[in-house]
Amino acid sequence: MAIDPNHYFRLCREEAQDRRWLVAMDVLAGATPTVDLLRSFGAARPFVIGASRGMGRIPTAAEAEVALLDVSADSMMASIRASENALQSLPGALQARIDRWDPSGEARTLGPIFGAGRPVAGRSVLGARPVSWQALEDKTVIDAVWDAVGVARVTSRVVPLAGLREAARAMDLGQGTVWAGDAREGFHGGASFTRWIRDEASAAEAEAHLATACDRARVMPFLEGIPCSIHGVVFPDHVVALRPCEMLVFRSPASGQFTYARSATFWDPPPEDAAHMRTIARAVGAHLRRQMGYRGTFTIDGVMTSEGFRPTELNPRIGAALGDLCEGLEGLPIAFLNCLIVEGLVRDYRPEALERMILDHAASHRSGRPSITSARRHASDEEVEVVFVGDSCRTCVDGEVADAQIRSGPSAMGTYVRVVLNAQRTPVGPSVAPRVGAALAFVDRLWGLGLGTLVPARDVRGTK
């Protein structure tokens, strides 16, 4: 049954209007779309806290009360953890401002998609996930879920750090091994504690790096192929399974590090592989619901190898690609809706209609805004439009239509770079990683960002 996305807008508005909201984000500029959404719901003027400023427009004083904590860090995960800690220990003057704004203490908090869900300024978080759900993000425990559901995976070993070398010798199939640390210090993403081990130097670096935050690690063979993910959404009587999306994960062979640059929806795996990934998502979602009462969105990440999809991790939350899938689907507040699903507040949810609406839209509206952060701090914001020529790109000349727009701006870790692909000029089917890599290499030379060599994954399975 076809459905208007405004059906979900109305469901969300019923919960949001005429109440106070504290918007607590790691990036202040990232809160602006949430403020715009709350205003469209008819909510009271919100209070916004940002751990760092970020790139883009920030809410005006007319739109919201605004506070900036000005957190800085030297890596993605350090920034996330520093932001979370700062939001948990607000300055006394800021706590007093919030209490004056919300003297009854009845406001609810909206936080980042990866947040632990702890109250901010004493205000509970909408859509906070139980600790048992969050634990699924530990890369050393998730293989048990694949085995319980019967999902094909590659052989792996979980060992103490002292046993990494021995496990790697046993697991290496000729292209090295991948080590992924546990979640002793909390979840980690963006390949921050994942390394590709091919020689003594990369092994020594990985051991030292993992020791800073992990006790154990999973060791598995390196998998050649397109990194990809699929979203599922768990409802009481249905599991929505969306479509595969490409994850932009570049390799740095000399160091063994992976560089995560978010996602895009232009890549299409063979139809039988896409159908298989959707089957996996439905089966895993049903398992999580039976075993732990799971509700809401999750992603399964993995690699499309020459033998098909092989999962590597599960994220018990919204992933970056969901925004790409829903890009341009006006009236569907998917992140807020997910919070209501997690809370069990949605009644007239119509999951089959939601699934069909997103699938139909995503098939005809492709999207990609890959991004990366450089540790070097650039002196000013920059913007350039480019066209792709073979395996490289160049600046547009007068009258040319851009294949992509590249922007840079401030980040808690240095400089944030975003590549906005022109959907009308980006081929559908092949991986976009070579294009994104060319764009990043171009601005690295142009702006001196120090990104280094970024090698895209190879498609060893083929497209439709």
On the question of pLDDT at 386 being above 70, the answer is yes
Of 222, 253, 279, at which residue does a domain stop? 222
- Tens digit of each residue's pLDDT (9 = 90 or more) over 426-440: 999 999 999 999 999
Structure confidence at residue 8 (pLDDT): 94
Structure confidence at residue 381 (pLDDT): 82
Q: Of 98-102, 183-187, 210-214, 316-320, which gets the smallest average pLDDT? A: 183-187
> Do 333 and 388 belong to one domain?
no
In a domain, 435, yes or no: yes
Residue 462 binned pLDDT confidence (cut-offs 50, 70, 90): confident
For residues 430-457, one letter each, b for 16 or more C-beta atoms within 10 angstroms of the residue's C-beta and e for the rest, the string is bbbbbbbbbbbbbbbeebebebeebebb
In a domain, 180, yes or no: yes
Residue 394 binned pLDDT confidence (cut-offs 50, 70, 90): very high
> Do 354 and 229 belong to one domain?
yes
Calculate the CA 171 to chain-centre distance. 28
| E strand or H helix at 145 | helix 143-149
> Do 360 and 382 belong to one domain?
no
CB-based contact 264:368 (threshold 8 Å): yes
How far is it, in rounded angstroms, from Cα 318 to Cα 132?
16
Structure confidence at residue 391 (pLDDT): 83
Rounded mean pLDDT of 252-271?
91
On the question of pLDDT at 228 being above 80, the answer is yes
For residues 58-87, one letter each, b for 16 or more C-beta atoms within 10 angstroms of the residue's C-beta and e for the rest, the string is bbeeebbbbbebebebebbbbbbbbbbebb
Residue whose C-alpha is closest to residue 280's, from 335, 225, 243, 334: 243
> Do 236 and 349 belong to one domain?
yes
Residue 1 binned pLDDT confidence (cut-offs 50, 70, 90): low
Rounded mean pLDDT of 358-367?
96
On the question of pLDDT at 400 being above 60, the answer is yes
Of 91, 113, 128, at which residue does a domain stop? 128
On the question of pLDDT at 244 being above 70, the answer is yes
Structure confidence at residue 464 (pLDDT): 52
Structure confidence at residue 255 (pLDDT): 78
Residue 378 binned pLDDT confidence (cut-offs 50, 70, 90): low
On the question of pLDDT at 191 being above 90, the answer is no
Q: Which residues pair with 180 in a beta bridge?
A: 194, 218
The burial class, CB within 10 Å (0-12 / 13-18 / 19+), for 233 is buried
How far is it, in rounded angstroms, from Cα 91 to Cα 101?
16
Rounded mean pLDDT of 322-343?
94
Residue 183 binned pLDDT confidence (cut-offs 50, 70, 90): very high
> Do 399 and 290 belong to one domain?
no
Residue 2 binned pLDDT confidence (cut-offs 50, 70, 90): low
- Does this model's pTM top 0.85? My answer is yes
> Do 267 and 358 belong to one domain?
yes
In a domain, 232, yes or no: yes
Residue 256 binned pLDDT confidence (cut-offs 50, 70, 90): confident
On the question of pLDDT at 367 being above 60, the answer is yes
In a domain, 412, yes or no: yes
Rounded mean pLDDT of 444-461?
93
* Owning domain of residue 438: 371-447
On the question of pLDDT at 350 being above 90, the answer is yes
**Considering the chain, what is the average pLDDT of its residues?**
93
How large is the greatest C-alpha to C-alpha distance in the chain, in angstroms?
Answer: 63
What is the dihedral angle through the alpha carbons of 185, 186, 192, 197, rounded to the nearest 10 degrees? 70
Residue whose C-alpha is closest to residue 356's, from 316, 338, 329, 335: 329
In a domain, 459, yes or no: no
Structure confidence at residue 9 (pLDDT): 95
Indicate which CATH number applies to the domain containing 216. Answer: 3.30.1490.20
In a domain, 441, yes or no: yes
> Do 291 and 205 belong to one domain?
no
Indicate which CATH number applies to the domain containing 285. Answer: 3.30.470.20
Residue whose C-alpha is closest to residue 276's, from 303, 309, 307: 309
> Do 379 and 246 belong to one domain?
no
In a domain, 323, yes or no: yes
Rounded mean pLDDT of 372-401?
88
Rounded mean pLDDT of 179-201?
90
> Do 258 and 387 belong to one domain?
no
Structure confidence at residue 18 (pLDDT): 86
On the question of pLDDT at 254 being above 80, the answer is no
- Tens digit of each residue's pLDDT (9 = 90 or more) over 139-176: 999 999 999 999 999 999 999 999 999 999 999 999 99
In a domain, 141, yes or no: no
Query: How many structural domains does the chain have?
Result: 4
On the question of pLDDT at 17 being above 80, the answer is yes
Residue 379 binned pLDDT confidence (cut-offs 50, 70, 90): low
Backbone torsion region of residue 70, taken as left when φ is above 0, otherwise alpha when ψ lies between -120 and 50, otherwise beta: left
Residue 266 dihedral angles phi and psi, to the nearest 5°: -80, -30
Rounded mean pLDDT of 109-119?
91
How far is it, in rounded angstroms, from Cα 216 to Cα 140?
8
Residue whose C-alpha is closest to residue 234's, from 291, 173, 295, 184: 295
On the question of pLDDT at 129 being above 80, the answer is yes
> Do 356 and 228 belong to one domain?
yes
> Do 31 and 116 belong to one domain?
yes
- Tens digit of each residue's pLDDT (9 = 90 or more) over 263-273: 999 999 999 99
Of 348, 365, 382, at which residue does a domain stop? 365
On the question of pLDDT at 188 being above 90, the answer is no
CA-based angle 338:342:346, to the nearest 5? 75
> Do 318 and 393 belong to one domain?
no
